[in-house]
Each structure stands twice: as C-alpha cells, then as structure tokens.
Amino acid sequence: MELVLFDLDNTLLDGDSDYEWAQFLIEQGVLERKSYEHRNQEFFEQYKAGRLDIYAFLDFQLAPLAQYPRAQLDAWHAQFMTLKILPIITAESRRLVMRNIREGHLCAIVTATNSFVTAPIAREFGVAHLVATEPEESEGRFTGKVSGTPCFREGKVTRVEQWLAAQGRRWNDFSESRFYSDSHNDLPLLERVSHPIAVRPDPSLEQTALSRGWDVIALD
C-alpha cells in the first residue's frame, strides 16, 4: 500500500480556502470589511513570503467561529462551498484524488487550514482522512483557540505521524509515500516522504524542486 498526502490550498484547490472563507464572511457582512480585508490580505502575503506567525493568524482566523452558534456557521459554510469552493476545484484535481483512492492507497488531505473550513471540502473530494489544524471546542461551540499542534510547516509532519500512530501505522509500513504541495512552507513534509511532488509551485519551492529533481506538475 502507498501513502498519498495532498495539500489543499493552491494544490487540490485553484485558490486558498483560508483566504476565501474570510472574504466570504466579509461579503456576507459578518466581518467588517475595512479592517478584516486588510488583515486577511496581510496574513496571506506573510504566508507566501514564509513569514507567517501561525498563532497570530489562527487568533484572527478562529475568532469569528467563537461568535456564532454551530448551526449558523454550518449554514454559512454551505453557501461558502457553493460560491467559493466548487468553482476552484478542477477536474484534474478530482481525477488525481479518485485515481489514488481507486488504486487502494491510503489517502489524506493535510492542510494548515482549520478542520471546520476543510472537512466539507475533503468530503467533496471523497477523501476519508483529513489532517488539519483543529479549532478548540467547548460545550458544542468553538472557543476561538487552537487545539493541539497547528498543522503548519514542521507541525504537518508531527500531525501526520500522530494520525498514522492512531491507526497503528508508521512510515515504513508503506511501499511509497507521496505528498503533493504548492508551497515552500511544506518543505518539512515534502522532505519526509519518499516521493515529493510540487504542484504549481511557488518560486521558492519550484527552485528547490528543480534542483533536487522532484516532479513538478500542474492540476489545471
């Protein structure tokens, strides 16, 4: 059996679900446009530059979840899926995922974006396993804080290994391990698998991938 891991934003998606969720809430009037739009873009630029403070970002990203009951958040998310996510899922991304599922590989989406935003997206792809940043919950409501290790940079390796251990598995149990990603922020996990694959890579990852002879593909 092979282990196949997929990054989500700008890899399986032709866009960023984190960024689009905040933009969706702004467009719905849930978040105040002037301040939130500027901060959302600022965090996005920091991420691309490799300078993101993940805890500062999560304070920003998770705070709105704590302000509303789950039923309201779920209703907004259904709209979000239709308006923002389905248009940025490419046919090639769907084919790639389904091919690996049909071949019997153990597949997971591994993403820094929180599981409230990404769990319905994973289901849309038909992927049963999601390794994501987990928002803290108390009495059925989100607290606005993160639970455990954020699934970001080295944290992606930690969280994947925790997920594997929970299933009684280890890296060596697989004949091959693959990880598809677009971002230099994912180098720790790309370097951990036996077959790293750069997907529409950012300039830094593209340079690394080419120098190391990694596969570089597009899912357009």
Catalytic residue among 9, 18, 186, 202: 9
The predicted pLDDT at position 37 comes to 85
Taking each helix axis from N to C end, the angle separating 17-27 and 115-125, rounded to the nearest 10 degrees, works out to 110
Q: Are 178 and 197 in contact (CB under 8 A)?
A: yes
The predicted pLDDT at position 208 comes to 98
Task: Report the predicted TM-score, pTM, of the whole model to 2 decimal places.
Answer: 0.95
CATH class of the domain defined by 2-217:
alpha beta
The predicted pLDDT at position 119 comes to 98
The predicted pLDDT at position 48 comes to 87
Q: Phi and psi dihedrals of 157, rounded to 5?
A: -65, -45
- Please indicate whether residue 7 is annotated as part of the active site: yes
Contacts of 22 (CB under 8 A, 6+ apart): 31, 36, 37, 40, 61
Catalytic residue among 7, 18, 182, 186: 7
The predicted pLDDT at position 92 comes to 97
Q: What is the pLDDT of residues 56-92, one digit of tens each?
A: 999 988 999 999 999 999 999 999 999 999 999 999 9
Q: Where are the domains of the chain?
A: 2-217
Taking the chain (220 residues) in consecutive chunks of 10 residues, what is each chunk's mean pLDDT?
97 95 93 86 90 92 93 97 98 98 98 98 98 95 96 98 97 97 97 98 97 95
The predicted pLDDT at position 144 comes to 96
- Please indicate whether residue 220 is annotated as part of the active site: no
The predicted pLDDT at position 40 comes to 86
Structure tokens belonging to residue 22: 């905040």
**Interstrand relation of 141-147 and 129-138 (parallel, antiparallel or unpaired):** antiparallel
